[in-house]
Amino acid sequence: MKVFISTELEANHPLVTASNSLGFQLIQHSLLSFSAVDGVPNQPYDLVFFSSPRAYAFGQQFILPETKVACVSEGTARHIQHPIHWCGNSPSKPTQTALEFKQWVGERRVLFPVSSRSLGSISSAFPPAQIECLTVYRTNLNPRVIESCTVYIFTSPSNAEAFLLQNTIPGGAKVIAKGTSTQEFLQQHGIESTYFTDESIHWEEALAPWVNP
């Protein structure tokens, strides 16, 4: 069995461990590249919100000594090397995360360092006058032909979009989407999938039925 995932994983990632224990071939390719975008905030801010590890990598320079730091999930928090003052606990439910974060923020101003392809899932909950969305990096699609697989795992809407530029999902294949935004993108293109979060999925249990049908 062949399993494709649209990112490159560390050797100790649970999905890599599952591929070794279950004996399937794991094909890892990110279909994206990233480049920094120069810019500075136009307004003062009290908090910085990071929606991904990459947003932090490109936007951490905007954390000032007095700035509070917030992020979308524990998965993102593990990549942040600053004190964190608020962390979301519902990564699969961006609407709920946005409402909980908005309640915690109150009247304070928030800076969102974002990608050029940001969906604005969290920032859209706020009045425009209370926030600033600053593009700090550009997400570029790098499509490539992927050999036919039994299972396809897409880690973002952009990766799924890049995949579909040069590939199709074969009949009978299982599709797994990271987060509801990716699942919704696939659904818009007629592809049904199940969604997961890093915190919720157990890869051996999820894939074992496909290895031993």
**Residue partners of 30: CB distance under 8 A and separation at least 6:** 6, 7, 8, 142, 159
Residue 94 pLDDT: 85
Q: How far apart are CA 176 and CA 46, in angstroms?
A: 37
pLDDT band at 209 (very low <50, low <70, confident <90, very high): confident
In sequence order, the β-bridge partners of residue 139 are: 34
CATH class of 34-139: alpha beta
Query: Which ranges of the chain would DSSP assign to H, the alpha helix?
Result: 14-22, 53-59, 74-77, 94-105, 157-166, 179-188, 203-211
Residue 179 pLDDT: 83
Q: How many CB atoms lie within 10 A of CB 125?
A: 19
The pLDDT tens digits for 103-132 are 999 999 999 999 999 989 899 999 999 999
CATH code of domain 2-31+145-211: 3.40.50.10090
Q: What angle do CA 141, 146, 148 make, to 5 degrees?
A: 145
Residue 90 pLDDT: 79
Does residue 200 register a pLDDT over 80?
no
Residue 210 pLDDT: 84
**Lookup: tokens for 203:** 């890869």
Average pLDDT over residues 135-152: 96
The kind and range of the H/E element at 131 are strand 131-141
Residue 40 pLDDT: 96
**Residue partners of 159: CB distance under 8 A and separation at least 6:** 6, 7, 30, 31, 32, 182
State the amino acid at position 174 in one-letter form. Answer: K
Q: How far apart are CA 141 and CA 67, in angstroms?
A: 33
State the amino acid at position 101 in one-letter form. Answer: F
> Cα-flanking dihedrals φ and ψ of residue 95, to 5°?
-65, -45
Residue 84 pLDDT: 98
Reduced to 3 states (helix: H, G, I; strand: E, B; else coil), residue 24 is coil
Q: How far apart are CA 14 and CA 136, in angstroms?
A: 30
Average pLDDT over residues 179-190: 92
Domain ranges in the chain are 2-31+145-211, 34-139
Residue 199 pLDDT: 67
Share of the chain above pLDDT 70, in %: 98
Q: How far apart are CA 54 and CA 34, in angstroms?
A: 9
Residue 177 pLDDT: 94
Average pLDDT over the chain, rounded to whole? 94
